[in-house]
Amino acid sequence: MRKFFRRFTPHHETVKSHRWLKPFGDWLHHPNLWHLHRRSVAGGVAIGLFCGLIPGPFQMISAALLAVLLRVNLPVAAATTLYTNPFTIVPLYVLAYELGAWVSGARNGAEIAQLSFPELHWYSWSGELWNWLTMLGKPILIGLPLLALSLAIAGYFTVRVAWRVAVVWKWRARRQRYARHS
């Protein structure tokens, strides 16, 4: 697992010497931000999955800030936010809405909001978009954090278990290799 992640992460000296990141150099010195071990990578995946559902361009920024605060792998946290993209964001938000409607009880006789995107006109697009978002209201406000937390917990434990399984397989392979040569 470590070799897989090491291929995609920059060396921490490269990041510390980058001219835009030099003011944050002291924050970026902690070894857990760059080392690839089971706890750090699992925490980075969890933070990335949680922050991936934050609307707008704040996903990677919030993932990086949380990774620094919680001392988990920063590149993994930032890269994991990329699971949300133009193809996946709508199904994820529909799932969050449905989860929020189920939890909040909006399904119990209340009128369900139309999930179809409104027809936007150039002269009133912002008002129409705002009306559509407020119509989603409580279910989306409850569903998004619940879905983000669920994805983060599932991602954390999935990485921990997968890492452990990979290590055990390597141990067994090494033991078999030594047994054949003895």
* Tokens representing residue 137 in the block: 């209201």
Per-residue pLDDT band for 181 (boundaries 50, 70, 90) equals confident
Q: Which tens digits make up the pLDDT trace of 13-59?
A: 666 666 666 656 666 667 777 778 899 999 999 999 999 998 777 89
Backbone Cα Rg of the chain:
21
